[in-house]
C-alpha cells in the first residue's frame, strides 16, 4: 500500500492504492502509472491502442528513463518517465499494444504520445485474400477490442461450396448496399460443417468498402452485461462512420424457442440491438450463426422485417456433392462441405445416412 499527498498549498486527503497477493507484477506497473495523474501532479492523460505493433518498436521517446518492466505470459509492460511526464506501454500476445501518457500539460502529453508511437506499427499486409476483422471480449479491465487481418476468399471463389438455394441467397446478400438495408439481422442456420463462418468471411470482403466486421468471442457475456453491450454497440464517435456488423457465432441457446426463459434478458437485448431503442442512430448489423433448424428458433428472432437475410446453409444434395467431388459414385445421401473436403483429401469422413427423424435439413 502506498499513500500520496496531492501537491498544493492545501493538501487533499491521501490517495491510497492497495495491492495483495492476487495482483501480478503487471498490476503493480498499472498502479504506479496512475500515481502522478491521481495526485494531480500530471493532470493530463492521453492513450492510444494499436494493432500490428512492430516487435522492435520501443514504444517510448528516446532518452526516457525506464522505471519498471514486466514480462508475463500474455503481455509485456514498461513504465517510463521524463521531464514532466510518465508513460506506460503494454504489448499483448498477437502484436497488439497500448501507450498511455500523463503529463503536466496537454501539449506535452500529446507530443510524448506522438513520439512514442511514431513508426511503431507494421504496414498492413497485402489486401489480396485478406480482410481486417475486429475481435471483442470482456477482459479483467473491461471490454477490449483487437483487430486482425484474416484470410477470406471472394464469394465467387467459394460459391460452388453451397447448395443452390443458399448460393442464390448469398448472391443477394453480397449485393446489398447501405441504401438497401431494411432489417438489421443476418441469420445463417444449418448443421456444423456447412460453411457458415466461411461465407461470413467472404461477405466481409464483399462489403469491405462500407462495413467493418467485428466478431464477439463471448456472446453470453455480451448480452448478459449491459455495460459491455453498450461499449460494443455504441462504438466510437470519431470513427469513419462505416456500418459495423457484429458476428455472434454458435449462439443456439440465445435464440432457441426456450431462450426467453433460459437466458433471461439476453434475447431481449439482442432484439433491442437489431431494431429497438439501442440500435437507433447506430449503423450496426448483427450476424448470427446457429446449428439449430429454423423451426427451433424463437419466433421473435425470425419475425418479418427483422432479418436482412435468413439463409439455410444445408447439406449438399447427392447430385451437388457428386458434382463437387467429380466422383458421381462417392456420395449417395448428400454431405456437408466439411465431409466433402475430408473425402477429397483422403481422410475418413462419416456420411450419415438419411433417416425419418433426420429433421429439418435432409
Domain boundaries, the chain: 2-117, 132-312, 315-362
Global pTM exceeds 0.85: no
Task: Report the sign of the C-alpha dihedral through residues 335, 338, 341, 347, in that order.
Answer: negative
- Regions in the chain scoring below 50 on pLDDT: 1-11, 238, 257, 259-263, 353-362
Supply the pLDDT for residue 277: 56
Spatial distance between the Cα atoms of 166 and 317, rounded to a whole number of angstroms = 12
CATH number of 132-312: 3.40.50.300
Indicate the class that CATH gives domain 2-117.
Answer: alpha beta
Supply the pLDDT for residue 352: 53
Supply the pLDDT for residue 213: 94
- The DSSP string of 296-328 is GB-TTTSSTTTEEEEEE--PBPHHHHHHHHT-T
Supply the pLDDT for residue 15: 66
Mean pLDDT, rounded, of the chain: 82
Spatial distance between the Cα atoms of 310 and 302, rounded to a whole number of angstroms = 8
26-79 pLDDT, tens per residue?
889 999 999 999 999 999 999 999 988 999 999 999 999 999 999 987 789 999
Opening angle at CA 162, ends 157 and 168, nearest 5: 85
Calculate helix-pair angle for 337-344, 318-325, nearest 10 degrees: 40
Supply the pLDDT for residue 1: 38
Supply the pLDDT for residue 223: 82
Share in percent of the chain as helix, strand, coil (round to 5): 30, 30, 40
Calculate helix-pair angle for 226-234, 266-275, nearest 10 degrees: 20
Supply the pLDDT for residue 142: 80
Supply the pLDDT for residue 330: 61
Supply the pLDDT for residue 6: 38
Opening angle at CA 332, ends 328 and 338, nearest 5: 90
Give residues with Cβ within 8 angstroms of 192, minimum separation 6. 291, 336, 338
With H, G, I as helix, E, B as strand and everything else as coil, classify residue 323: helix
Task: Report the sign of the C-alpha dihedral through residues 326, 328, 329, 335, in that order.
Answer: positive
Amino acid at each position: 500500500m502506498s499513500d500520496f499527498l496531492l501537491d498544493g498549498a492545501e493538501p487533499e486527503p491521501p490517495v491510497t492504492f492497495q495491492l495483495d497477493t492476487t495482483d501480478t507484477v503487471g498490476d503493480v506497473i498499472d498502479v504506479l502509472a496512475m500515481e502522478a495523474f491521481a495526485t494531480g501532479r500530471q493532470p493530463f492523460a492521453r492513450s492510444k491502442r494499436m494493432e500490428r505493433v512492430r516487435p522492435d518498436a520501443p514504444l517510448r521517446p528516446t532518452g526516457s528513463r525506464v522505471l519498471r518492466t514486466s514480462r508475463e505470459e500474455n503481455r509485456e509492460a514498461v513504465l517510463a518517465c521524463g521531464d514532466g511526464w510518465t508513460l506506460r506501454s503494454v504489448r499483448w500476445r498477437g502484436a497488439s499494444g497500448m501507450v498511455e501518457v500523463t503529463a503536466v500539460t496537454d501539449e506535452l502529453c500529446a507530443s510524448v504520445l506522438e513520439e512514442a508511437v511514431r513508426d511503431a506499427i507494421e504496414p498492413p499486409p497485402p489486401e489480396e485474400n485478406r480482410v481486417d476483422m475486429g475481435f471483442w471480449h470482456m477482459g479483467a479491465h473491461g471490454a477490449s477490442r483487437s483487430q486482425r487481418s484474416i484470410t477470406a476468399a471472394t464469394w465467387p471463389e467459394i460459391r460452388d461450396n453451397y447448395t443452390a438455394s443458399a448460393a442464390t441467397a448469398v448472391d443477394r446478400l453480397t449485393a446489398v448496399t447501405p441504401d438497401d438495408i431494411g432489417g438489421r439481422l443476418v441469420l445463417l442456420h444449418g448443421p456444423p460443417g456447412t460453411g457458415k463462418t466461411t461465407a461470413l468471411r467472404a461477405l466481409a470482403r464483399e462489403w469491405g468498402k462500407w462495413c467493418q466486421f467485428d466478431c464477439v468471442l463471448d456472446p453470453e457475456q455480451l448480452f448478459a452485461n449491459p455495460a459491455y453491450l453498450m461499449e460494443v454497440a455504441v462504438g466510437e464517435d470519431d470513427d469513419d462512420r462505416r456500418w459495423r456488423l457484429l458476428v455472434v457465432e454458435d449462439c443456439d441457446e440465445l435464440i432457441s424457442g426456450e431462450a426467453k426463459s433460459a437466458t433471461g434478458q439476453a434475447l431481449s437485448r439482442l432484439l433491442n440491438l437489431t431494431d429497438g431503442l439501442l440500435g437507433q442512430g447506430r449503423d450496426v448489423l448483427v450476424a448470427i450463426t446457429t446449428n439449430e433448424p429454423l423451426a427451433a428458433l424463437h419466433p421473435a428472432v425470425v419475425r418479418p422485417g427483422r432479418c436482412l437475410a435468413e439463409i439455410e446453409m444445408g447439406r449438399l444434395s447427392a447430385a451437388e456433392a457428386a458434382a463437387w467431388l467429380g466422383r458421381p459414385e462417392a456420395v449417395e445421401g448428400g454431405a456437408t462441405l466439411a465431409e466433402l473436403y475430408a473425402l477429397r483429401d483422403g481422410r475418413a469422413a462419416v456420411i450419415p445416412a438419411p433417416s425419418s427423424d433426420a429433421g429439418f435439413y435432409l
